[in-house]
Structure 1
Amino acid sequence: MLLKDFYTVEKLENVAEGKYNAVVLLNREHDIFKGHFPGNPVTPGVCMMQIIKELSQEILGSSLFMKSSSNVKFMALINPDNNPKLDLELEISGDLTSEIKVKNTTKFEDTVALKLTNTYIKA
């Protein structure tokens, strides 16, 4: 985990071939929220992208290096005080020995907060 104690994984399950669901709980007391932003914490987008990478690594059992991102849409602010629990859908495809494509949708409650497609290579 790149950011120590930033989040915990409550659930990570395979729901179909190449499809996974995860539930992540953000640590609202983490130091990153003191600076981003004081009095109105917002989860940084780059931290969300790191969570997706780390979940993908756990699923694949391999270190990954991001090659590219596309169709990145931050659709709602994630305030850890109001919405610390996130539901992530990951769809993993591609030649798992070279390029790996991960499509993600991240939600809190019924709100879509993030959609993206990342391409990784094994590190």
Structure 2
Amino acid sequence: MLLKDFYTVQKLENVSEGKYDAVVSLNRQHDIFKGHFPGNPVTPGVCMMQIIKELSQEILGSSLFMTNSSNVKFMALINPDINPVLRLELEISGDLESGIKVKNTTSFDDTVALKLTNTYKKA
């Protein structure tokens, strides 16, 4: 984990071929929220992208290097004081040698907060 104690994985399961569901809980006391932003914490988008990468690495059992990110849509602010529990849907295709494509939808309650497609290669 790049950001120590930033989040905890509560669930990570394979729901069908290439499709995974994860539930993570953000640590609202993490130092990153003291600066982003004081009194109004917002989860940085780059941290969300790191969580997606780390979950993908865990699923694939390999270190990954992001080569491309497309269709990135930040659709709602994630305030860890209000919505600390996030659901991530990951659809993974490809292989480690030619490239892995990960489509993600991140949500809390009934609100979609992030949609993106990342491409990774084995690190």
Q: Same fold (TM over 0.5)?
A: yes
Q: What is residue 117 of structure 1 aligned with on the other side? A: 117
Once superposed, what is the RMSD of the aligned Cα atoms? 0.5
* 1:98, distance to aligned residue in structure 2 (A): 2.2
- TM-score, length of structure 1 as denominator length: 0.99
Which segments of 5 or more consecutive residues in structure 2 lack a partner in the other structure? none
Distance in 1, Cα, partners of 2:104 & 2:21: 10
Distance in 2, Cα, partners of 1:56 & 1:5: 18
Q: What is residue 19 of structure 1 aligned with on the other side? A: 19
Distance in 2, Cα, partners of 1:70 & 1:88: 17
- TM-score, length of structure 2 as denominator length: 0.99
Aligned residues: 123
Distance in 2, Cα, partners of 1:9 & 1:94: 24
Q: Secondary structure at the match of 1:12?
A: strand
The within-5 A match list for 1:1-123 is 1-123=1-123
* 1:97, distance to aligned residue in structure 2 (A): 2.5
Which segments of 5 or more consecutive residues in structure 1 lack a partner in the other structure? none
Q: Secondary structure at the match of 1:67?
A: strand
* 1:94, distance to aligned residue in structure 2 (A): 1.4
Q: Secondary structure at the match of 1:94?
A: strand
Q: CA deviation digits over 1:52-110, x for unaligned, max 9? A: 00000000000000000000000000000000000000000013332000000000000
